[in-house]
Amino acid sequence: MDYEESKYGRKAEENFLKGYNCSQAVFLAFSDLYEMDEKAAARLRSSFGGGMGRLREVCGAVSGMFLAAGMLYGYDKPGDAQGKKEHYARIQQLAKAYEAENGSIVCRELLGLAQKRDEPVPEKRTEEYYKKRPCKKLVRMAAAIMEQYIKEHPL
């Protein structure tokens, strides 16, 4: 898929450039497909930026993609073993697609950071920040992968 042509990829990048974290940026890109107040959606995803609160674990763009998948395709009955199995397979498929492009789904690995955890204070988003961080590209890619999945598995 050409990530540059992705409607949802562009929207995710725009969201990121507005100041949303990676998870919020991707999840909010799909807001036309689910019913949720934008403020509530942003708040629910606010913990997932920086690889989960700057712990540098699972990439926020990946978390946003997974959250969108859950909102669009997820199961909601506690005993739905088949639904859970199908959804986990979906999540693993999305993760595999992202990892195939980037070599990892882990924030610190994608950023080339040696330390596992980071200070809780986010960096200011300056020109220099955008030059050294691939996050803008990664949110676009995660949203494009989700968009492709939706095309292949219509709602």
| pTM, entire model | 0.94
In sign, the C-alpha dihedral spanning 124, 127, 132, 136 is positive
Q: pLDDT (tens digit, 9 = 90+) per residue, 125-154? A: 888 888 888 999 999 999 999 999 999 999
Domain borders along the chain are 3-152
**What percentage of the chain reaches a pLDDT higher than 90?**
83
At 5, phi and psi to the nearest 5?
-90, -5
Q: How far apart are CA 105 and CA 111, in angstroms?
A: 11
